[in-house]
Amino acid sequence: MSEIGPPTAGGKVLWHFTMSLDGFVAGPGHRMDWMAGTSFRPGLIQEYVATTGAILCGRSGWDGIIDDKRPYGGEWEGPIFVLTHHPEDAAPAEGVTFLDCDAAEAVRTGLEAAAGKNLEVFSPTIGRQLLERGLIDEIDLHVAPVLLGDGIRLFDNPGGAPVALRRAAAADPAATVDVRYLPVR
């Protein structure tokens, strides 16, 4: 069951992740094996494939990709932009542009390439920079039934101020979300 409905394409900047219940989007060392066994609502992947026009990620996430694996299990095709301070040592890959520029400029480039569809930001570090500058339109999360305890957090900002959010498509946008999980024995 989903309360938020399918994503819509409208030239938005989406910070989009599958996240552990305790707020991690990757395990230690960028491990993603914790996602094995997680299932998604039927049609969810296809909806994001249809509404995504371009992807922006960071160099660590890109370098961690094994065997040139593409987003959405290879179902999505489109331009990928990778932010890095040293594009000169990146291995060229089809459809991938390495950018060394300001994060806001990377968003402008990505949105232009997305041609009216959404730009998905697949990076906690870049998302944080964009959030600070008011450049994230939506945060789309799929909370997986797992606790990681360590790894890369969606939002790591020690010493920072809380960032207020409102929940999309909710009668009370300030209401908490109630969930109940049972440990697997």
Ligand X SMILES: NC(=O)c1ccc[n+]([C@@H]2O[C@H](COP(=O)([O-])OP(=O)(O)OC[C@H]3O[C@@H](n4cnc5c(N)ncnc54)[C@H](OP(=O)(O)O)[C@@H]3O)[C@@H](O)[C@H]2O)c1
Give contact residues for ligand X (rule: CB under 6 A): 17-18, 25-26, 30, 32, 57-61, 64, 83-86, 100, 103, 122-126, 129, 152
Please say which residue, 124 or 178, places its beta carbon nearer to ligand X. Answer: 124
Q: How far is the CB of 26 from ligand X (least distance, A)?
A: 3
The one-letter code for the residue type at 132 is E
Q: What share of the chain is helix, strand, coil (3-state, %, to 5)?
A: 25, 20, 55
Strands 52-58 and 24-26: what pairing?
Answer: unpaired
Tell me the torsion sign for CA atoms 112, 88, 61, 75: positive
- Select the residue whose beta carbon is closest to ligand X and give its number: 58
Smallest separation (angstroms) from ligand X to the CB of 80: 11
Residues 172, 182 contacting (CB under 8 angstroms): no
Query: Least distance (Å) from ligand X to the CB of residue 133?
Result: 11
By beta-carbon proximity to ligand X, the closer residue of 32 and 44 is 32
List the one residue out of 136, 163, 150, 149 whose CA is nearest residue 17: 136
Which residue, 113 or 148, has its beta carbon nearer to ligand X? 148
Residue 55 token pair: 């992807």
* Nearest distance, CB of residue 31 and ligand X, angstroms: 8
- CB closer to ligand X, 23 vs 64: 64
